[in-house]
Amino acid sequence: MTGNGSVVSRVSGKLSQALEAGEYPPGSRLPSEAELGSQFGVSRPTIRAALRTLGAKGLIRTQHGVGTFAVERSAIHAGLERMDSITESIRATGRVPSMDYQSRTIRPLLPDEAERMGLSPNEMALELRRSVLADDEVVAYSYDLMPLSVLPEGFVPEDLDGSIFSFLREKSGIVPHHGLAEIHAVSSMHVGWGDYATHESLYVLLDQVHYDAKDMVITYSRTYFIEGRYSFTILRTG
C-alpha cells in the first residue's frame, strides 16, 4: 500500500493502539477531526478515512453533530472482506483464542454437502465439531468438513487441534486464498452443546466454503456465532 492509503493505515493503527491502551476509555469522546489532524500532521480527509476504518472494525462509533466515541469491546469484531481465521480475529481484539473439539469423525459426504463443495457424493471427509472460545468464553459453534485429500499423509483425527487454517498451513502447506460465504440469522436451541448452549438461541450463521489459490476446496464450514459475542462488519469504499 502506498500514497494516502499508507498514511491512513498509519493513523488508524496509532489510534487503534491508543484505544487498546485505554487512552480513550469506552464511552469517552475522541478529539475532533481538526485536533487529530493537528496531532498526526495530516489532513482532515485522512483522519476521516482512518476513523471510518476504526468504525468498520467496531472500535468507535460516530454520532453526527456530537462526536466520535470509543465503544465497549465486549464482542469480537471481524471484517467479512478478509480471510482471517477465527482465532486470528479473536487474537486481534486482545483476547486469547482456544478451541474445544467435541468430535472428529471420518465419513462420506452427504449429497447436499458434496454439491455445496463441488465434490463427488460419498467422497470421504473429516467432520469436525468444535466450540470456539475467547478468554474461555464460548463465542461460536462450528461444524466443519475437510476433504481427506487436503490432510497430510498418515493423518490421525486427534492430530488436529486448534486453528484449522494454521494446521493446514503448517502440516500440508495449504494456504486459504478466497471463500464463498452465505450469511443467515438463526434462532434455535439445538445448535451447540455444553452449558453455554442451554442459554443461547440466537446466532449468525456463516455458511462458507474455503479455497486455495488454485480453487481447490479446503474446508466447508457452518459456524454459528453467538449473537452479541461476535459481530461482523464490511468495509465499503467508493
pTM of the model: 0.70
pLDDT (mean) for 9-36: 90
Best CA proximity match to 191, nearest among 154, 148, 113, 139:
139
Q: pLDDT at position 77, please? A: 64
CATH, range 76-233? 3.40.1410.10
Percent of the chain at pLDDT exceeding 90:
61
List pLDDT tens digits, range 111-128.
999 999 999 998 999 999
Q: pLDDT at position 113, please? A: 96
Q: Which has more confidence, 89 or 3?
A: 89
Q: pLDDT at position 2, please? A: 43
Q: pLDDT at position 72, please? A: 67
Question: Do the two domains 4-70 and 76-233 of this chain adopt the same fold?
Answer: no
Residue with grid cell 465503544, as numbered in its chain = 71
**Does pLDDT of 101 surpass 90?**
yes
Instruction: pLDDT band for 79, please (50, 70, 90 cuts).
Output: low
List pLDDT tens digits, range 186-200.
999 899 998 778 788
CATH of 4-70, one of 1.10.10.350, 3.40.50.1950, 1.10.287.180, 1.10.10.10: 1.10.10.10
**Does pLDDT of 73 surpass 90?**
no
Q: What are the residue boundaries of the structural domains of the chain, listed by start?
A: 4-70, 76-233
**Does pLDDT of 1 surpass 60?**
no
**Does pLDDT of 236 surpass 80?**
no
**Does pLDDT of 47 surpass 60?**
yes
C-alpha cell of residue 215: 480453487
As a three-state string, the secondary structure of 205-234 is EEEEEEECCCCCEEEEEEEEEECCCEEEEC
End-to-end CA gap in the chain: 17
pLDDT (mean) for 90-115: 92
**Which pairing describes strands 178-187 and 137-147: parallel, antiparallel, or unpaired?**
unpaired
pLDDT, the chain, mean:
88
Q: pLDDT at position 74, please? A: 55
C-alpha cell of residue 233: 462488519
Q: pLDDT at position 56, please? A: 72
**Does pLDDT of 37 surpass 90?**
yes
List pLDDT tens digits, range 181-235.
999 999 998 999 987 787 888 899 999 999 999 999 999 999 999 887 887 777 6
CA dihedral 36, 90, 56, 223 (to 10 degrees): 180
Bridge partner residues of 1 (DSSP): none
Return the half-sphere exposure (C-beta side, CA atoms, 13 A cut-off) of residue 18.
19
